[in-house]
Amino acid sequence: METLLNYIYIGVVVVLLFGAAIFVHEYGHYWVALRRKLKVEEFAIGFGPKLFSWRAKNGVLWSIRGIPAGGFVKLPQMITSEAIEGKPEEELPPITPLSKILVSVAGPFMNVVFAFAIATFIYIVGLPQPVNPSIVGYVDPKSDEAKLGIKEGDRVVALEGKPVKTWQDVNMGTILALTNTLRVTFDRAGQQFTHPLKAEVSEVFGLKILKLNPKDHPILIGIKADGPAAKAGLVTGDEVVNFAGVPVVAREQFIELVRKRPGQATPIEVKRAGQILPFSVTPAADPAEGVGRIQVEVGSNSKQVFEVMRPGPLPWVQVANVFDQMVSTLKALVYSKQTGVKAKDLSGPVGIISGLAIQVNTDYRLALSFLVLLNINLAVLNMLPIPVLDGGHIAMAILEKLRGKPLSVRFVELTTSAFAILLISFMAYVTFFDVKRFPLFKAMMNADTKVEQATNAPASTPSPAP
């Protein structure tokens, strides 16, 4: 019963937070449209069938719809789409390009304002930061890393000159790096040294990883007799350090790796009695779900701990960090051959809502920080000069101003419809991979976490989560 209530709580909070980001965006359009004397027919939160609606005193229909993944303000003078909506009931006067631009800019502008407001609140109440220090665990004496002098207990403090504090930072920095050979800076008892380390592309994830084992690993706490793990020679108490060539840093990551290898013989390395032992295990294919299972219970030798740093990062630092993350992601996509990052690695509505749910389940301040990221992303992406998006409306308004006359209705309809189809297709594509990652989202929801108050100084720049 307690679990059910928790899921209901998470669902309600996620809908409210996600809806808030959409609401402020659409309200920006709505408010400016009224001030510019535009006809506003409807203000809707969500898509799909109407759950309930009411008409305001100014005649605008307000509605809450069944799919909480967006919203819209119906402005017939902004874009004519007779092919989709039919001819308007009344002949409306044309509006100026300036009005179109102001109305279009208002939505993204409100998202930025909202992001700064949330970031200011986070600065006051503090921000939990992961305490998952990037401390190196076992180093194979025969490895290139050992030959360079890297030892167990060394801490990774920078990648390509950029500071890192956690294994999340290390993993994200490696994935987004534009090279396979990274300058990695270590700290040992206060002495720092840098080595060029070569990252390898994971056969499972298709993304780059460094050949460094973290100090903390999941532990096998129960093994089913005659199951794949038992047949492979694994025993209770083994610490999983590597699976399918991927260093294992968390329980949920290990579970997801196993799920991706049904029926495939896979190398696994475990730490037992201080030694690293190699095995080969073939996950059995689950007849219901078709995913791999080795029939073990997995625990952890550490709990994911967050420390609340108060005050939190300065508001503009939080927003700047989001911009930096967006630029890094875009560069990684552009240089996909070097980074391995592809469009399928992005998230659509399912991934965004799942990510927000994970943060809500951990701590409300992490959920608010995620909301800062979401609002800035909405603002930037909506300003792209693509028909259907706000930036497309602005581009068409500028073109109209330069031509000295409105664009043809047919041209607007065709370009808007074509890009709408492309956008919907892209969203369906990334959502497909979001659904495939759902077991990972579920595992992360169930991860053992602890948030505690830090006693040290103010927080530094927050690190992007992978």
Q: Tell me which of 301, 316, 343 is where a domain ends.
A: 301
HSE-CB for 298 with a 13 A CA cutoff: 25
Residue 54 belongs to some domain of the structure: no
- The dihedrals phi and psi of 60, each to the nearest 5 degrees, come to -80, 135
The answer to whether residues 369 and 455 belong to one domain is yes
DSSP string spanning 364-408?
HHHHHHHHHHHHHHHHHHHTSS-TTSHHHHHHHHHHHHHHTSPPP
The answer to whether residues 373 and 450 belong to one domain is yes
DSSP SS3 for 218: strand
Question: By the 8 A CB rule, do 65 and 49 touch?
Answer: yes
β-bridge pairing 266-272 and 275-281: antiparallel
End-to-end CA distance of the chain: 32
Query: Cα angle at 110 between 106 and 115, to 5 degrees?
Result: 155
Q: 273: phi > 0 → left, psi -120 to 50 → alpha, else beta; which?
A: left
The answer to whether residues 437 and 316 belong to one domain is yes
- Residue 459: per-residue pLDDT: 38
Residue 20 belongs to some domain of the structure: no
Residue 80 belongs to some domain of the structure: no
The answer to whether residues 454 and 306 belong to one domain is yes
Which amino acid, 119?
A
β-bridge pairing 296-300 and 218-223: antiparallel
The answer to whether residues 418 and 307 belong to one domain is yes
Query: Mean of the pLDDT values across residues 223-239?
Result: 87
The answer to whether residues 364 and 354 belong to one domain is yes
Cα→Cα distances 445→6, 252, 384, Å: 11, 9, 33
Query: Cα angle at 155 between 214 and 152, to 5 degrees?
Result: 60
Query: What's the pTM value of the predicted model, to 2 decimals?
Result: 0.68
The answer to whether residues 233 and 352 belong to one domain is no
Domain count, the chain: 3
pLDDT in tens, 313-370: 899 999 998 988 888 888 888 887 777 777 777 887 788 888 888 888 888 888 899 9
Residue 49 belongs to some domain of the structure: no
Mean pLDDT of the chain: 82
The secondary structure of the chain in percent helix, strand, coil, rounded to multiples of 5, reads 45, 25, 30
Residue 47 belongs to some domain of the structure: no
Confidence of residue 371 (pLDDT cuts 50, 70, 90): very high
Residue 441 belongs to some domain of the structure: yes
- The dihedrals phi and psi of 422, each to the nearest 5 degrees, come to -65, -45
Query: Cα angle at 142 between 139 and 147, to 5 degrees?
Result: 75
- Residue 316: per-residue pLDDT: 92
Cα distance between residue 436 and residue 418, in whole Å: 28
The answer to whether residues 344 and 465 belong to one domain is yes
- The dihedrals phi and psi of 262, each to the nearest 5 degrees, come to -65, 130
The answer to whether residues 118 and 138 belong to one domain is no
On the question of pLDDT at 174 being above 80, the answer is yes
Q: Which residue has the tokens 């391995």?
A: 340
Query: Mean of the pLDDT values across residues 50-69?
Result: 85
Query: Mean of the pLDDT values across residues 116-121?
Result: 95
DSSP string spanning 16-31?
HHHHHHHHHHHHHHHH
DSSP SS3 for 247: strand
Which CATH number does the domain housing residue 154 bear?
Answer: 2.30.42.10
Residue 68 belongs to some domain of the structure: no
Query: Mean of the pLDDT values across residues 140-164?
Result: 88
Question: By the 8 A CB rule, do 257 and 248 touch?
Answer: yes
The answer to whether residues 357 and 327 belong to one domain is yes
pLDDT in tens, 412-449: 888 888 888 898 888 888 888 878 777 666 666 665 56
Cα distance between residue 450 and residue 173, in whole Å: 25
Query: Cα angle at 185 between 182 and 190, to 5 degrees?
Result: 175
206 versus 22: the higher-pLDDT residue is 22
Question: By the 8 A CB rule, do 45 and 25 touch?
Answer: no
Q: Tell me which of 188, 214, 240 is where a domain ends.
A: 214
DSSP SS3 for 214: strand
The partner residues of 239 in beta bridges, in order of sequence, read 219, 271
Q: Angle at which helices 315-334 and 167-176 pack, to 10 degrees?
A: 40
Q: Tell me which of 214, 249, 268 is where a domain ends.
A: 214
pLDDT in tens, 4-18: 787 788 888 888 888
Residue 339 belongs to some domain of the structure: yes
pLDDT in tens, 373-407: 999 999 999 999 988 889 988 998 999 888 888 88
Domain of 186, in residue numbers: 133-214
Cα distance between residue 271 and residue 239, in whole Å: 5
53-78: b (≥16 Cβ within 10 Å) or e: eeeeeeebeebebeebbbbbbbbbbb
- Residue 104: per-residue pLDDT: 92
Q: Burial, 453: exposed, middle or buried (Cβ in 10 Å; 0-12, 13-18, 19+)?
A: exposed
Rg of the chain (C-alpha set): 26
- Residue 204: per-residue pLDDT: 53
pLDDT in tens, 204-218: 556 788 888 777 778
The answer to whether residues 321 and 357 belong to one domain is yes
β-bridge pairing 127-131 and 155-159: unpaired
The answer to whether residues 124 and 141 belong to one domain is no
Complete edge-to-edge strand list for the sheet that includes strand 127-131: 127-131, 304-309, 449-453
